[in-house]
Structure 1
Amino acid sequence: MPELPEVETTLRGIEAHLVGRKLVQVDIRQPQLRWLITPELRTEMVGQEITHLSRRGKYIGIHTAKGTLIIHLGMSGSLYFVPANTPPLFHDHVDFCFAGDGDWLRYTDPRRFGAILWTTEDWQTHDLLRHLGPEPLTDDFNVDYLYAKAKGRKMPIKTFIMDSKVVVGVGNIYANEALFKAGIRPNRMAGNISKVRMRKLVECIKIVLANAIKQGGTTLKDFVGGDGKPGYFKQELAVYGRAGLPCTQCQKVLTEVRQAQRSTVYCAKCQT
């Protein structure tokens, strides 16, 4: 599913093409996503100019003077541009049509686990966003914060850093990769990790996510960025999706286990 780097890549791909444009029509062909797209989306957004875009965790905010369109890509969603009046395919559920002859923004989602919501309040106070933890690439996410948050927690460190109330955007792919880079076994209890090792983990989370964004995210099956191109970070994956293959550092065969219904791959020698 799209994780923070893929969402950030999408935002960067569409932002320059949206800001300053006036929305004249919203075509909703399939309103039933994770939550129903309400009719007020059409009545409230049409006629509004896009002022700016922002991201919080895996949510994209498309802002107007009147309110904010909140988009979550779910398991398989994507946003990309198509020439005006391009016939939709089966999974193309929503078009945002703008004044002039420019391209339209299209939302496609084969599994329909994404969300398109509208709010006239501060979007970060929305029920879906207000309990989120800090952004991992900001100074708010640091060793003092994470070490204090982990104190006394008897849960695997991988599960801990994937909790969006602890830190946003560290999904399964990047949790695997950051833990490998930090040399920490994913099933080690979060509360038992020393501050020195926690500092290394914070650094590795930031490095892995920043590199993934630079590479345009990771394309495994469905993801393409706002420009329609796949992400290339898959070529740099050290453990995720490599179960049974040799470790890139020590050549020991990588181990795969299930944690919280997710695939976890690690090196039993390099990660302790």
Structure 2
Amino acid sequence: MPELPEVETTRRGIAPHVDAARVTELIVREHRLRWPIPPELAEHVTDQPLLALERRAKYLLFRFPAGTLIVHLGMSGTLRALTEAFPPEKHDHVDIVFDNGRRLRFRDPRRFGAVLWQNGNPLTHPLLAALGPEPLSDDFSADHLAAQLARRQSAVKQVIMDNHIVVGVGNIYASESLFRARVDPRRAAASLSRIEIENLTKSVKETLADAIAQGGSTLRDFVDSDGREGYFLLQCYAYGREGEPCRVCGTTIQQIRQGQRATYFCPSCQH
């Protein structure tokens, strides 16, 4: 599933192609995504100039004078910038055509993605209104994380993956952040000391920044807007390395299940 780094990589990849361009046509070949594409969507965006392309959590926000187009890639979606009107393939559900000759093509084999519209402030949309702070922003601080972890007995990995607490810390990045902070993913959230919380806050920021710099992770069929794979998984310390020696101490990396998700950790480095 594309996570925050993959979505940010997509945003950075397509933004230069459509910045300040005007939509000339919206082509919808399949309305049945996770939520049906609004039938009036073409009326909202046609002839509208793109004011900005932003990201909130894993949602892409196309800001137009009349409102905001909200796009979510779901589990298998991609959004690519095309220079020509190449023939669409089976799972190419939506094209956004611009007056500069570019078009954005939304492909989603599993159809768990979304293409929605919001009048007014997009951050008030029900999908976005209750989200926690962006991990790379100043709003995500040790003070904020300490307040969220206090009195929570759930495993710390589960807590930092909660989008109400901080957005974008998916399964890969939670395992890697906890390794960098030298925190056992099984520990109760409330048991972390202040210095451990400060280290974890810093590690979350560094892990996600590194993943964005590497173009995200190659997991299943994720590619960025130009069709290139992400490479963050190649430098993981814990995730996906069960049975392999820890790159820091040589201890065998272990895997457990937490909340139906695989968790990887070093029992020596993380305690």
TM superposition score category, shorter chain reference: over 0.9
Contact preservation (8 Å) 2:18, 2:102: no
| 2:199 equivalent to 1:200 | yes
User: Partner residue of 1:81?
Assistant: 81
Q: Does 1:261 align with 2:260?
A: yes
**TM-score, with structure 2 as normaliser:** 0.98
The answer (yes or no) to whether the contact 2:214–2:232 under 8 Å persists in 1 is yes
Task: Give the letter aligned to residue 7 of structure 2.
Answer: V
Distance in 2 (CA, whole Å) between partners of 1:24 and 1:252 is: 58
| Conservation of the 8 A alpha-carbon contact between 1:69 and 1:118 | yes
What's the C-alpha RMSD, in Å, of the aligned pairs? 1.0
Match in the other structure for 2:15 = 15
Q: Aligned partners of 1:94 and 1:138: how far apart in 2?
A: 32
1:108, CA displacement in angstroms? 0.6
Partner of 1:184: 183
* 2-structure distance, mates of 1:262, 1:110: 23
> Pairwise mapping of residues 224-239 of structure 1 onto structure 2 (< 5 A)?
224-239=223-238
What SS class does the counterpart of residue 54 from structure 1 fall into?
Answer: strand
What is the deviation of 1:90? Answer: 1.1
**By how many angstroms is 1:82 displaced?**
2.1
Tell me the alpha carbon deviations over residues 184-236 of structure 1, each in whole angstroms, 9 at most, x when there is no partner: 11111101111110100001001111111111111122111122211121211
Aligned residues: 271
Aligned partners of 1:32, 1:17: CA distance in 2, in Å? Answer: 27
Query: Which of 76-85 and 134-143 deviates more?
Result: 76-85
What corresponds to 2:93 in structure 1?
93
CA distance in 2, matches of 1:238, 1:223: 21
3-state SS, counterpart of residue 265 of structure 1: strand
User: What are structure 1's unaligned runs of at least 5 residues?
Assistant: none
Identity of aligned residues (%): 48
Equivalent residues in 2 for 1:10-159, closer than 5 Å: 10-100=10-100, 102-159=101-158
Moved runs in structure 1, 4+ residues, more than 4 A? none
The separation in 2 between residues aligned to 1:41 and 1:165, in whole angstroms, is: 29
Partner deviation per Cα, 1:47-100 (whole Å, 9 max, x = no partner): 111111111111110011001000111111111022332111111111111224
CA distance in 2, matches of 1:128, 1:270: 37
Q: Is the 8 A contact 1:20 1:50 kept in 2?
A: yes
CA distance in structure 1 between the partners assigned to 2:241 and 2:110 by the alignment: 25
Find the aligned partners of 1:182 and 1:55 in 2 and give their Cα distance: 27
Matched, 1:211 2:199: no
Distance 1:259 1:236 in 2: 23
Corresponding letter in the other structure for 1:173:
I
Query: What does the per-residue CA deviation read over 1:107-157, in whole Å, with 9 as the maximum and x for residues that have no partner?
Result: 011111111101112000100001011111111111111011111001110
The question of whether the paired residues in 2 share the 8 Å contact of 1:84 and 1:97 is answered with no
Deviation at 1:244, TM superposition (A): 1.5
